Structure 1
């Protein structure tokens, strides 16, 4: 990862995804007219829509000029060409056993061209291309709002050369044995051996352990873990390709490719609707002995309601979700959300806040008196927070925040000495305070073990050479976790599971607090993938936030990444990304999916009902093909207006207070 504001070394190209500054090789000429640029982009994305509009406009122009024969030949040739290309794709789909709405659309195009109803053929093509463009637009809009996986992955490593000079080296060129420097808050670029005396590492995105992990010289540091507040020296133990982060990305790709594709909603109605339309068209032809009647029925039977209803509703649903901080990457995800029956949660950063907070202050009893603690708990916290002002330890901010919440004023510090990764010693308001690990406090004063449960961490405190007590830190359950699980239950997600890399006792404690009955602890990324695959009540939602959750997010029917603070590897592999640090958005995403599906189904059935009515009239010959195409436009308009109802209305009902 390139540090912010740092200039790239000479002779090295700007890495992908990094925006070059003024005067660099990455500069590009300023774009011209932004409106023209957007139009050109739209044409490249949806060429069939724009080409059909041009052909339709040219055909109408020729007709107005009285040149009917060139208009007929040009429109018919274009429709026949589109039908040929669509037929190739349709045959490929049929060979794979997938029946879709393209069959009926292709029959409508071919029949209208055959009987000379070329305007109707162009309208059918426009509706076919328009529906597909809506689906593509909805998916592309969501993907653009996400960062790339490569934006998270380290790109450069600070390699020591002769004379301890640091050289920014592309991560792919780092070899085992190279000496690297990892600056504060940077990612470890490759799996490495720690050369510095000690380091405090945040491995939560890899292992699920929310509390900082202390490493000493000789320990292995995994790529993707975040360094603490002090720069460290490491020796590369593997190449980037063989490091932990790359292995997780490979597992993501494998899980993604093994997931079954989602069948489009409209395709489920294609076979019965096609059979009914062909039967009615054939009957009209037989009874009238007029082949034009066959085309007239198929034109009003064109599956425009099926082509447009779901995409419009899905686009409206994804737009509503985006306004609420929920990015839904593809339309099939909305269907899966609507039918979800099981929700699987990661622990750290998902059900819990992912940031340690003060649970309690354990004051040590006065020596020999048995009358009570030697120091008041509030006094212990006040002095500890005052000393922690001069500490770079990752827990220092949590201690200071705890004192602020209790309205404890921080005392002036006259002396302060930090012992890297072990704690700090300071003189606060005239008192000598030592805060940190047991070993540091024990060397300065007496010591006794703190009473802690699994998932808790003790920060010990000594005051004026006397052991005062311990600050017990924990990673608490989110305030709205229980509420969110209740909302999911009411939405039909009946089964909940907790999967975590944490210890069993910690996982069981969090599960009890949240109301989750099924727990699997000590999970590696592969274990999570296997556990989700074994769930019988499907579709399955998986909610996580760390790099270690990326494979299981890709493997689940719907992966939801808490992307506000989580790793982009999780966001990249997920189907849904919650951009706010709010667990309740998971339930809201399910509610939006259900609302969108409801609107889409109403649109589809309304369109089918109107089309069947028009087919019945067209069988009598009272609806010419062009008139039928225009009437079908009215059906499309009704479908679109109904589909836009998905823009509003999806909410989650809060629990009733006990």
Structure 2
């Protein structure tokens, strides 16, 4: 179908109404007034029946909306013989929906762009018997883990993979919002959705397309698009009073003037398009603006909650802190060397999914200590890991857990904010690893911004020991701390926090329950935190807590614009209705003027697409109470126990963080 004809089929009611209007005009000019009247009456009556059917369906679902005003206006204009005005009302209502669609596509552009650029084809490289490589194009969904793929210049990486080429420059702006190219070297992970630079590269697939980073983001975006914004609920708050006021004004005009035409002249200016159109356009604009900032908000209902947040709760490790703890000291017990303690602990921690275990493994690798495989391993929820290494039983974890297996375990002294991972071998205490993790540079600024913008209460909910938790809290400006919590404890506390709504920010798999339980759950980063991302209402794609400021600020701006647009529409409509009571605005002119009101409210609602960058007010200066490098291993672990008989080490890509 030619492009210029597509609007005619996309909006059939508009097309039909225009055709009927032209036909009625031709008949009237041909002095066939009765025929013109009946054509108009039948057309408008059909639209009234169509609208009434929709209203009945809404009532059966428990929703009473604003369509009653439109129906009364159409019936009134037909009753007083204003057939042209009745057709214009039909055109106005259907045209309003078209304007909403057009404005919605404009507002939804950022979200739609993410969906449209999802990679669909991959260049798979296969080596033949003669040693030559053959490249075949296959659907991205058919790529298997381990396949070697060719990524040509400026192409989108179809699946998560490991870079085989010596080096590459990747554009990851669609994933993180970072506009500068990111250099990658051989062995580093390359994320799907990133754009290759100017040189062809090869990667080995780490995950299938459906499990890859970009597809997870696309799924979040699709959920955000399909979720129903609270626009109906928002409009309904004004529906009954606006309908009542409109009918009173119209009835008073009729009663005072004694002319029933005045009733119709007033009601054509009371049609509800500004209320029905402005809010959805504003919410779509807010969703799009957030996506552009690297924040995926799952629907308009979340935007409304974000705008009203009064309490903010935060996990600690990986949320308020960097989430990359480092071993700052190894304290070996008598008869042990620091290297032996670290090597055995790191060997056991290969089988842990805890983010702090990663710091222990990194410390061993940096010292060049070879890690041994386990013949059996088990991780116990929130306590630690136990593994059979080189024929010895190695335990790493909290002091209470290690002491239950090695009674001679003794508590070591640590500085404020530090924490210790205790190690026992064959039931004998072997030493402790002292770990530390710095607060994020932006954490104190984020807390200060929230307090300055209406958030009355900031709380830390963490499984870490209280001294460590309080040191971090003091560094970032949080006064209220709940420590030594299990995931279920977090859920219970979040449910009881006041005032509402409550925002909860976390980054790991065991944060998923509390993120789902909070009024607004925000997951820090989509990488490696699939469960948290699925449970959360908001996902921050950048590895920065500043995205919380973006989410709250955009939520507030969007709700303000939506309410202002509704207010403008109501004020203009009521003002024009009052003028129409004097008879100065004929029904046809009133219907046309109402179209201008629709356009004004839509243009105002599109302001939700733009706004001042809230991070301009965000200081990254450390809090005055900032302490030393912090966080330790005796924090919360995964909310399950995991036995590993084959003892395969956990791959970095599978590690959940907190």
**Which shifted more, 317-326 or 272-281?**
272-281
Give the one of 350, 355, 359 matched to 2:319.
Answer: 350
Report how many aligned residue pairs link the two structures. Answer: 465
- Rounded to whole Å, the distance in 1 between the matches of 2:503 and 2:558 is 17
Give the one of 487, 496, 520 matched to 2:449.
Answer: 487
Task: Name 2:46's counterpart in structure 1.
Answer: 78
Q: Does 1:292 align with 2:261?
A: yes
Task: Name 2:69's counterpart in structure 1.
Answer: 104
How much has 1:599 moved relative to structure 2? Answer: 2.0
The TM-score with structure 1 as length reference comes to 0.59
User: Secondary structure at the residue paired with 2:269?
Assistant: helix
Give the one of 320, 334, 356 matched to 2:289.
Answer: 320
Q: Does 1:647 align with 2:615?
A: no
- Rounded to whole Å, the distance in 2 between the matches of 1:650 and 1:291 is 50
Task: Name 2:156's counterpart in structure 1.
Answer: none
- Rounded to whole Å, the distance in 1 between the matches of 2:342 and 2:431 is 10
How much has 1:363 moved relative to structure 2? Answer: 6.3
Map 1:43-442 to 2 at 5 A.
Answer: 50-63=11-24, 65-66=26-27, 68-69=36-37, 71-89=39-57, 91-92=59-60, 100-115=65-80, 116=83, 117-126=85-94, 129=97, 264-355=233-324, 357-362=325-330, 398=359
**Which shifted more, 68-77 or 335-344?**
68-77
How much has 1:269 moved relative to structure 2? Answer: 2.2
Task: Name 1:635's counterpart in structure 2.
Answer: 597
User: Secondary structure at the residue paired with 2:233?
Assistant: coil
The TM-score with structure 2 as length reference comes to 0.59
Contact 1:105 1:128 in 2 (8 A): no
- Rounded to whole Å, the distance in 2 between the matches of 1:358 and 1:278 is 70
Give the direction of change, closer, same or farther, for the CA distance of 1:501–1:604 in structure 2 (3 Å limit). same
Give the direction of change, closer, same or farther, for the CA distance of 1:538–1:110 in structure 2 (3 Å limit). farther
How much has 1:541 moved relative to structure 2? Answer: 1.3
Q: Flag structure 2 segments of 5+ consecutive residues without an equivalent.
A: 28-34, 116-229, 378-386, 398-408, 625-658
Contact 1:79 1:125 in 2 (8 A): no
Deviations 1:458-489 (A, max 9, x none): 48899xxxx99865234553332222111111
Q: Does 1:456 align with 2:419?
A: yes
Contact 2:346 2:364 in 1 (8 A): no
- Rounded to whole Å, the distance in 2 between the matches of 1:345 and 1:113 is 60
Deviations 1:152-210 (A, max 9, x none): xxxxxxxxxxxxxxxxxxxxxxxxxxxxxxxxxxxxxxxxxxxxxxxxxxxxxxxxxxx
Contact 1:347 1:499 in 2 (8 A): yes
Task: Name 1:587's counterpart in structure 2.
Answer: 549
- Rounded to whole Å, the distance in 2 between the matches of 1:570 and 1:352 is 17
Task: Name 2:584's counterpart in structure 1.
Answer: 622
Deviations 1:439-468 (A, max 9, x none): xxxxxxxx9985457973448899xxxx99
User: Secondary structure at the residue paired with 1:300?
Assistant: coil
- Rounded to whole Å, the distance in 2 between the matches of 1:262 and 1:640 is 14
Contact 2:439 2:472 in 1 (8 A): yes
Give the direction of change, closer, same or farther, for the CA distance of 1:656–1:583 in structure 2 (3 Å limit). closer
Alignment RMSD, CA only? 4.8
Map 1:17-56 to 2 at 5 A.
Answer: 50-56=11-17
- Rounded to whole Å, the distance in 2 between the matches of 1:121 and 1:334 is 32
Q: Flag structure 1 segments of 5+ consecutive residues without an equivalent.
A: 1-32, 44-48, 147-260, 368-373, 426-434, 439-446
User: Secondary structure at the residue paired with 1:264?
Assistant: helix
Deviations 1:102-140 (A, max 9, x none): 443443344344443431331343266458868998899
- Rounded to whole Å, the distance in 2 between the matches of 1:391 and 1:324 is 36
User: Secondary structure at the residue paired with 1:594?
Assistant: helix
User: Secondary structure at the residue paired with 1:543?
Assistant: strand
How much has 1:492 moved relative to structure 2? Answer: 1.0
How much has 1:631 moved relative to structure 2? Answer: 1.1
Map 1:467-616 to 2 at 5 A.
Answer: 471-474=433-436, 476-565=438-527, 567-616=529-578
How much has 1:291 moved relative to structure 2? Answer: 2.3
